[in-house]
Amino acid sequence: MASALSMVSAFVDFFSETDPFFEFSSYFPVQMEIEGDTWPTVEHYFQAQKFPGPENAAYRERIRNAPDPHAAKALGRTREIAIRPDWEEVKEEVMFRAVRHKFRDPVLRRLLLETGDRVLREASPQDEYWGIGPHGTGANRLGVLLMRLRDELRVGGWPARV
């Protein structure tokens, strides 16, 4: 008979609201205060950061107040307003900043730490950058950032620098 430990998967997959670890998704609702503003999800914050500067303040606010993360993502995909020219270089650090703020919540932080050494994977069937994509071979950058934060929390405790 297999032990209980051997029955635990080496992976923690998350993506949709019906997944056991949906809390790890950028769409999970959690109030985060970042730089004086309260954001309803990581996705809202992430999308708004594509449009820096005072000239884009109203558009960032529109994204922040979007009714759900799907709407925030759609607003962030516009190209009617130019996204910041360094977006490809900074997007992971923007995501990591948001994730750090999200996991200041003690319940979420405990859940993350309880994953042990398991590999965290955003099981998105489409996204091959932030998730594992349709073939399971994507870059899984959100999972990688979550594991980076988990490692930081183990070594340095909390609060991790935000």
Conformation bin of residue 147: beta by default, left when phi > 0, alpha when psi is -120 to 50: alpha
Task: Examine residue 162 and state whether it is found in any structural domain, yes or no.
Answer: no
- Per-residue confidence band for 158, with pLDDT thresholds at 50, 70 and 90: low
% of the chain at pLDDT higher than 70:
91
Q: What is the mean pLDDT of residues 21-50?
A: 97
| Confidence (pTM) | 0.91
Pair 136, 127: CB distance under 8 Å? no
- Per-residue confidence band for 7, with pLDDT thresholds at 50, 70 and 90: low
Task: Examine residue 161 and state whether it is found in any structural domain, yes or no.
Answer: no
Domain count of the fold of the chain: 1
Task: Examine residue 39 and state whether it is found in any structural domain, yes or no.
Answer: yes
What CA–CA distances, in Å, run from 148 to 48, 97, 120, 158? 23, 12, 10, 14
Task: Examine residue 148 and state whether it is found in any structural domain, yes or no.
Answer: yes
| Pairing state between β 11-14 and 32-34 | unpaired
Q: Write the CATH number for 67.
A: 1.10.357.40
* Higher per-residue pLDDT: 76 or 157: 76
Residues 6+ apart with CB under 8 A from 39: 31, 32, 33, 45, 48, 64, 98
Cα(97)–Cα(155) distance, rounded to whole angstroms?
18
Task: Examine residue 141 and state whether it is found in any structural domain, yes or no.
Answer: yes
Pair 21, 14: CB distance under 8 Å? yes
Domain limits at 128?
A: 5-156
Task: Examine residue 127 and state whether it is found in any structural domain, yes or no.
Answer: yes
* Higher per-residue pLDDT: 6 or 15: 15
Determine the pLDDT at residue 6.
Answer: 45
Say yes or no to pLDDT of 99 above 50: yes
Q: Whole-number mean pLDDT of the chain?
A: 93
Say yes or no to pLDDT of 4 above 60: no
Cα(113)–Cα(156) distance, rounded to whole angstroms?
13
